[in-house]
Amino acid sequence: MKEITCKLLVIGAGPGGYVSAIRAGQLGIDTVIVEMAKPGGTCLNIGCIPSKALIHAADDFHRTAAMAAGRNAMGIRAENLAIDFGRTMAWKDGITGRLTMGVAGLLKKAGVKMVVGRARFRDGKTVEVETETGQQVIRAENVVIATGSAPVELPMLPFGGKIISSTGALSLAQVPERLAVVGAGYIGLELGIAFAKLGSKVTIVEALDRILPLYDTQLTQPVAKRLSALGVEVLLGTKVKGMSSNGETLLADAADGEERRVAADKVLVTVGRKPVTEGWGREELELDMDGRYLRIDDQCRTSMRGIYAIGDVTGEPMLAHRAMAQGEMVAEIVSGKRRSWDRRAIPAVCFTDPEIVSVGLSPDEARAAGREVKIGQFPFSANGRAMTLSSEEGFVRVVARADNHLVLGIQGVGAGISELSAAFSIAVEMGARLEDIAGTIHAHPTQSEAFAEAALKTLGHALHV
């Protein structure tokens, strides 16, 4: 048995864990990171990155298909259209491969020791890892738990065979002819739209009476319209019961009590993710829980001294950039810096068609918080750049305090709007007022002008509507 000691041990090399380890290494902290799969975690290997690669490929294919059919106003024609899906997937795997190798390289450059295997706590300061070459014991002054999350399985639709999770959907060998998607949340809609564009007949079954319950209906309405244009059938208020006895058809109960039958070659179940709180010896520790998540304070400290937790295992929002920000903060705390969680803005971006961005408070959230607000909205149909891109659907909306014009939240929906999320976040994080945004020169012609115009609209004098 081999034994090592270190000042900081990080369990899990997803965005939370690897960022924490890199920053700790940069700060000269003697750091070890343990990962049982590949560096980069869910995000780089089976989440954010491969899904966005597939979404982009599907977009390109669909746009070209529209051209082939002569369905574009610019008069572009393309002939002999086909997609070699094997090559699409190989291209996607190439991207994740480059990124995971990159993370391994960055860890090495920061002087972090990487141990490959499943970590398990023996006690609060000792972890054992089953590696390929035998057991490794690691004694650490501080431990960061960054074990992430896993897809929720429905008891009546256990994963296996044609019932797949997002991981299965991102490694399909062929585009399924008929795809049923259970859950109209982030993953169901991002991947459901991508497969619809790749040619699948997609049916989405959602238990609630609306899609993307996280966002208000004004923001989701353009996505609902696009789903309809893509021929995606969306069954709202519909509860899945399981597969038919011959395994061919997904059975569900519609809101009106009628049984719905959805013939499917693959059934993608995307009904949320659960924190990975088992399989690493939590039973050996005394960690307080916050529901199903590990309880943390504003420094990501758990209820045990010297043990921190970050990322999806600590709760919502389960987003890669939140995990990374927590990871960076914890490394600095371990190095002795005075840090605590003081972030105002965690942007949420849904990579649907069109994309949705939300930063800070929505109008309803601001009102619920007791604020008197001013709201202004600017449509992309009045934005020159959006017209030149043939993507006039959507808008930017600004929510500000009525009294002093402090910006409380910014939301938007539109093609490519994910790239505006940084501008929105900076405004909220830096405490911008409407006048700051309206007084900033936004380059012409860009979609970002819609942001300045939305601020002007909130002030009562937009120029281009």
Instruction: State the minimum distance, in angstroms, from the CB of residue 25 to ligand FAD.
Output: 17
- Which listed option, ligand NAD, ligand FAD, none, makes contact with residue 232 (CB within 5 to 8 Å by class)? none
Nearer to ligand NAD, 235 or 375 (CB): 235
Contact present, 17 and 33 (Cβ < 8 Å): yes
- Which listed option, ligand FAD, ligand NAD, none, makes contact with residue 168 (CB within 5 to 8 Å by class)? none
Nearer to ligand FAD, 42 or 302 (CB): 42
Contact present, 262 and 252 (Cβ < 8 Å): yes
Contact present, 387 and 352 (Cβ < 8 Å): no
CA distance linking residue 417 with residue 421, whole number of Å: 7
Q: Parallel, antiparallel, or unpaired: how do β-strands 201-205 and 233-235 relate?
A: parallel
Residue with tokens 């509860």: 239
DSSP string, 259-294: EEEEE-SEEEE-S-EEE--SSS-GGGS---EETTEE
The question of whether 444 is a catalytic residue gets the answer yes
Interface residue list for ligand NAD (CB under 6 A): 154, 182-188, 190, 205-208, 213, 239-240, 270-273, 317-319, 349-351
- Which listed option, ligand FAD, ligand NAD, none, makes contact with residue 222 (CB within 5 to 8 Å by class)? none
Nearer to ligand FAD, 103 or 432 (CB): 103
Instruction: State the minimum distance, in angstroms, from the CB of residue 279 to ligand FAD.
Output: 5
- Which listed option, ligand FAD, ligand NAD, none, makes contact with residue 164 (CB within 5 to 8 Å by class)? none
Interface residue list for ligand FAD (CB under 6 A): 11-17, 34-37, 41-43, 47-48, 51, 118-119, 146-149, 166, 187, 276, 279-280, 311-312, 318-321, 323, 351
Classified as helix, coil or strand, 58 is: helix
Nearer to ligand FAD, 15 or 409 (CB): 15
Instruction: State the minimum distance, in angstroms, from the CB of residue 14 to ligand FAD.
Output: 2
Nearer to ligand FAD, 21 or 400 (CB): 21
CA distance linking residue 68 with residue 88, whole number of Å: 20
- Which listed option, ligand NAD, ligand FAD, none, makes contact with residue 125 (CB within 5 to 8 Å by class)? none
Nearer to ligand NAD, 356 or 459 (CB): 356
Instruction: State the minimum distance, in angstroms, from the CB of residue 107 to ligand NAD.
Output: 24
CA distance linking residue 290 with residue 105, whole number of Å: 35
Nearer to ligand FAD, 383 or 418 (CB): 418
| Buried residues in 199-234 as b, exposed as e (16+ CB within 10 A) | bbbbbbbbbeebbbeebbeebbbbbbebbeeeebeb
Instruction: State the minimum distance, in angstroms, from the CB of residue 17 to ligand NAD.
Output: 17
Radius of gyration for the alpha carbons in the chain, expressed in angstroms and rounded:
24
Instruction: State the minimum distance, in angstroms, from the CB of residue 445 to ligand FAD.
Output: 28
The answer to whether the peptide bond before residue 222 is cis (omega within 30 degrees of 0) is: no
Instruction: State the minimum distance, in angstroms, from the CB of residue 433 to ligand FAD.
Output: 28
- Which listed option, ligand NAD, ligand FAD, none, makes contact with residue 146 (CB within 5 to 8 Å by class)? ligand FAD
Query: Given 62, 321, 405, 444, which residue is catalytic?
Result: 444
Angle between helix 48-68 and helix 85-109 axes, rounded to 10 deg: 150
- Which listed option, ligand FAD, ligand NAD, none, makes contact with residue 323 (CB within 5 to 8 Å by class)? ligand FAD
CA distance linking residue 239 with residue 401, whole number of Å: 40
Calculate the alpha carbon distances from 303 to 45, 80, 183, 229, 308 in Å: 31, 62, 34, 51, 9
CA distance linking residue 330 with residue 314, whole number of Å: 13
Contact present, 373 and 402 (Cβ < 8 Å): yes
Residues catalogued as catalytic: 444
